[in-house]
Structure 1
Amino acid sequence: MSSETVHKDKIMTEPVDMDVAKVEEGQNYAAVDKQSERSYGRLSCSSETRLLSAAFSIPGMFVVESFMNITKIAELTELPARCISSTQSIGHSNLGNAKTDKLDEDLHFKGNEYSLLILLFYIPFGLCDLPLNLLTKLWSGRVMLPTLMVTWGSLALVQCAAKNFGGLLAIRLLLGVCEAGFFAGVVFYLTLFYTRGELGFRLAIFFGSALLAAAFSGLISYGVFRIKDHAVKGWMWLFIIEGGLTVIVGTVAFFWLPSAAEHAWFLTGTEKAAARARSLRDGSRCVGSEFSLKQAFGTWRGWRFAGWCVIAFTYPVAFSTTSNFLPQIVQRLGYSTVKTNLWTVAPNAVGFVVLLTVAKSSDYFRERTYHIIFSLCLSLTGMIILASIDVLGNKGVAYFACFLMAAGSYIPSVLVHSWHNNNNLEENSRSATTGLLVGLGNLAGILSAATFRVEYAPGYRPTLIATSCCNVACIGFTLAMGVWMKRQNARRDAELGVVIRAGDVDTSSLVDGEKSPNWRFF
């Protein structure tokens, strides 16, 4: 045994007995970290990973790290997150449901004012994502997410008091500000809890709750619109019920959500240490880094950053078309208001199942490119069918196309943002980049709203053609990005003479990021 090996073993084992015992007693991980600093000076993130790895290898002291109580984290963290996602999605889809109950007639809309209402909402909804996500990094998701939720829930409820287009527009603009930053905040928040190989499916569970909520919104609308009350219209009850539900869930989230896994009130000291080790092994270069604007914008350069921006702007157009206008697309098949809302349930339910399946496959194979392209092709096929046929003469085929749109249009929201975060190991940079890219995606909703005009009814072919073109562009850029990453990985393998996959090397050891010889793109 070399002297170097002996020295390494000594460094690895001597403090572990002492530190593990402290963690075993349930003390916060910070106590372990401070004790380690006293013994050896300030630990680097890679040294911290090795220390924790050694701790987890001691028989009888810890469960194997990979079998750490991740179920507890998943259940106790994602439960409120799912509820939050559900209420936000309900808020997005309820305007379309409300229109089927003649909201536009009651508020005396003229011409394309409904499309204008949706279009203008996306301006603050897109522009405010970046600053709000930086605040999420600064103040933590525990503070920002419930605050945003309670605020937008209150505004969503107040929509029932609108008397005309101007009043509803003012409320919707404020609603756009409050809802902005929420999805980006949740994406960044979940990167603090899950490894790169888990993030896609975990985001899918969160985002899938939104699909179920959209279906649930259709069921609520189906029931509410059967209420015959001349004083309070059905669409008013819809805003009251769904806005009030959002406020309740947001209030509970204030007391439930932890700021990060290592500070979770429902984890023991052992589990907090394990959660930190997981992030350092396959997630972040350093955990809990201080807020830094310089680090936040450090990766905003090069052709790949521009490519991410194009992908982020083009894929959400299909999502916006599906989520905002699915009730109108179904309604043009000739069904009544009640049946239209009921018939929007099934496409969203199928979309939920497909989303979870594709995301699970993507995580399992640690592959994003072709899973994203597959989903884009699904929604593209649905839009081509709807644009090509006489929907009134082929109702069954048209309804099947709605299933394809719902099945494919939601998946990129999960996998695209998992993908760019998988290849970004710095927390400040992740918060800024996620905020920007989600904001660009929200601004893309303007294109969907601008092309969905009343004069295009009932075929809406210009809308479907424009959305299809965005899908094609996104497919091209996604393929180019994925092929380039695979070639870079192959070149690096050839230079080292060994095949390495993303995840084979601790992320905390990649101190030089992409310049590290062991770096591999995910």
Structure 2
Amino acid sequence: MNATFEKPAVVEVDEAGHLTQKDVISHIDAMAMAPGTSYESFAHLDEKKILRKMDIRLIPMLALLYLLSFLDRGNIGNAKIEGLQEDLKMTDDQYNLCLTVFFLAYAAFEVPSNLLLKRLRPSRWLPTIMVAWGIVMTLMGLVQNFRGLLSARLFLGVTEAGLYPGCAYYLTMWYCRREIQLRQAMFFSAGSIAGAFSGLLAFAIAKLDGLGGLEGWRWIFILEGLATVVVAISAYFLLYDFPETATFLTEEERAFVIYRLKYQGHTETKDEGGVQVAQADEFAWKYVWAAFKDWQIWVNIFVYWGIVCPLYGVSLFLPSIVKNLGYVSSTAQLLTVPIYVTGAILAIVVAYFSDRVGKRSPFVVTCMCAILLGFILCISTNKPGVVYAGVFIAAAGLYPAFAGNIAWLSNNLAGGYKRSAGMAIQIGVGNLGGAFASNFYRQKDSPRYILGHALELGFTSVGLIAAAILILSYSRINKKRAKIVREGGHNEFTPEELSEQGDKAVTFRYVH
């Protein structure tokens, strides 16, 4: 690693002749891919220190963006118990339709957004869509009827669609698969903090009822929307794009980060006769189509539904579920807080151990069993304390399971564009579960909501079956590939051909 690079990394060509961002990326990639480069070439670098630098500069900002995203999509549940439905003279079915239409638009725009993120600058694309949904959120506080709210929720889904899959994929541009779940959890736990924050904010903002001639629930939308716009503007200056252009890392550190990412996933063990294979990262439509045709993505979506249906059931209806246990609105808002805080803490703790042992499925399956137990308690009795405990246990499993499942699939997709498309498909189609869950908890079923709890149980059970299929399939494929490599079968392919094959190459090992 003797290459030197004396010109500063800037984005545009200027009169002084500074390099473009494209040139900077090409230079760092060339350093990482130089002949003879190996992990030993970077042995003098402190990997943990580099990771800490990345964590400090990436995770807090992404977490804040996702906190606002989750806050803005879920605050309608808080607004409902503050009088939204009555003031807009909506029926229960109309209210549920407003929840559903968000997820339909959300699912449709996730794949295009992720492909754009890869081709454009994340520091421009993510804040731009954030400004757009912040404006929509603010204007939602001015709607006067069902049609107005329905239209606002539709556009909220369109504008917010790219944030979560974009951030989840963005992290895979920086972190290796053995490190990704902890970072995904730190980022995603902002969603559960948003749930707690939402209850506290709604409790406080609702006291503005009557200010400016507006109801309290309108102020929830207006103030939270304005906060999103302000943070989005700051994100233009605080988000980084790619490791190759990260000014907080030295050139050699950037090359090391890229090297780790390029060669992850393919076996390098001598007992299997491993070969060093770089992941393909040039755009080609075949990688996008490969994602649509990959069996593991579609099986994983059932696991995702088994988690996300209960997740959205909780995030959209928790205030109503708790209120119908016999509490007034203000108390119900506050009782949601410990549930979300516990979920956030457990998401990070479970992710830490999952990354340490390099396994995903044992933790995902265990957490899904906790979800089952929680809803069994909810459906088995009408005692308020037991129902509250059931929701608590379910939420404790939901947040760690969600982060684990996202990391599980991202670990098993090789190649930047295939991973980008695959994660967007998983999250996009998977978030149709939010459209399902929007209709699970009907007001006429209160206070016990037996139908809603039963449907959550059903989806989680199907998700566990899908997880078992993935585990058995990954194990069988890994054993088969290990045998082929030991027998020298990988020598039939050049490193370039193995790179093109991505996660289908005999040298690639699935994480399970």
Decide: shared fold, TM above 0.5.
yes
Partner of 1:443: 432
Q: Distance in 1 between matches of 2:372 and 2:218?
A: 35
Aligned in 2, Cα 1:208/1:111: closer, same or farther, shift over 3 Å?
closer
Aligned in 2, Cα 1:303/1:87: closer, same or farther, shift over 3 Å?
closer
Partner of 1:102: 83
Partner of 1:234: 216
Q: Is the 8 A contact 2:130 2:160 kept in 1?
A: yes
Q: Is the 8 A contact 2:319 2:332 kept in 1?
A: yes
Q: Distance in 2 between matches of 1:386 and 1:491?
A: 44
Q: Note the C-alpha offset of 1:48.
A: 3.5
Q: Distance in 2 between matches of 1:508 and 1:223?
A: 59
Q: Is the 8 A contact 1:155 1:174 kept in 2?
A: yes
Partner of 2:14: none
Q: Is the 8 A contact 2:134 2:225 kept in 1?
A: yes
Q: Note the C-alpha offset of 1:199.
A: 0.7
1:51 corresponds to which of 25, 29, 37: 37
1:365 corresponds to which of 350, 357, 374: 357
Aligned AA (1:340)? A
| 1:69 counterpart SS class | helix
2:158 corresponds to which of 177, 192, 200: 177
Aligned AA (1:248)? V
Unpaired segments of 5 or more residues in structure 2? 10-18, 267-276, 488-494
* Number of aligned residue pairs: 482
Q: Distance in 1 between matches of 2:237 and 2:297?
A: 37
Under a length normalisation based on structure 2, what TM-score does the superposition of the two structures give?
0.87
Partner of 1:11: none
Partner of 1:502: none
Q: Is the 8 A contact 1:313 1:437 kept in 2?
A: no
Partner of 2:260: 278
Aligned in 2, Cα 1:515/1:210: closer, same or farther, shift over 3 Å?
closer
Q: Note the C-alpha offset of 1:50.
A: 4.3
Q: Distance in 2 between matches of 1:226 and 1:110?
A: 25
Aligned AA (2:111)? L
Partner of 1:89: 70
Unpaired segments of 5 or more residues in structure 1? 1-15, 38-42, 499-505
Q: Is the 8 A contact 1:137 1:291 kept in 2?
A: no
Instruction: Please report the RMSD computed on the Cα atoms of aligned residues, expressed in angstroms.
Output: 2.7
Q: Note the C-alpha offset of 1:320.
A: 1.1
Q: Note the C-alpha offset of 1:336.
A: 0.7
Under a length normalisation based on structure 1, what TM-score does the superposition of the two structures give?
0.86
Instruction: Kindly provide the CA deviation profile for residues 271-303 of structure 1, in whole angstroms up to 9, marking residues without a partner as x.
Output: 222221221242696579333222222243354
Q: Distance in 2 between matches of 1:124 and 1:107?
A: 23
Q: Note the C-alpha offset of 1:171.
A: 0.8
Instruction: Kindly provide the CA deviation profile for residues 175-207 of structure 1, in whole angstroms up to 9, marking residues without a partner as x.
Output: 110111211111111100111011111010000
1:187 corresponds to which of 128, 153, 168: 168
Aligned in 2, Cα 1:327/1:167: closer, same or farther, shift over 3 Å?
same
Partner of 1:111: 92
1:460 corresponds to which of 449, 452, 465: 449
Partner of 2:269: none
1:265 corresponds to which of 223, 227, 247: 247
Q: Is the 8 A contact 2:208 2:219 kept in 1?
A: no
Runs of 4 or more, structure 1, over 6 Å off, are 24-29, 506-509
Q: Distance in 1 between matches of 2:6 and 2:497?
A: 24
Q: Note the C-alpha offset of 1:32.
A: 10
Q: Is the 8 A contact 2:29 2:255 kept in 1?
A: no
Is it true that 1:157 corresponds to 2:138 in the alignment? yes
Partner of 1:254: 236
Q: Distance in 1 between matches of 2:294 and 2:253?
A: 39
Q: Is the 8 A contact 2:82 2:217 kept in 1?
A: yes
2:507 corresponds to which of 494, 497, 518: 518
Partner of 1:326: 318
Is it true that 1:409 corresponds to 2:395 in the alignment? no
Aligned AA (2:253)? E
| 2:92 counterpart SS class | coil
Is it true that 1:387 corresponds to 2:369 in the alignment? no
Q: Distance in 2 between matches of 1:50 and 1:68?
A: 25
Q: Which shifted more, 258-267 or 152-161?
A: 258-267
Q: Distance in 2 between matches of 1:418 and 1:302?
A: 17
Is it true that 1:317 corresponds to 2:309 in the alignment? yes
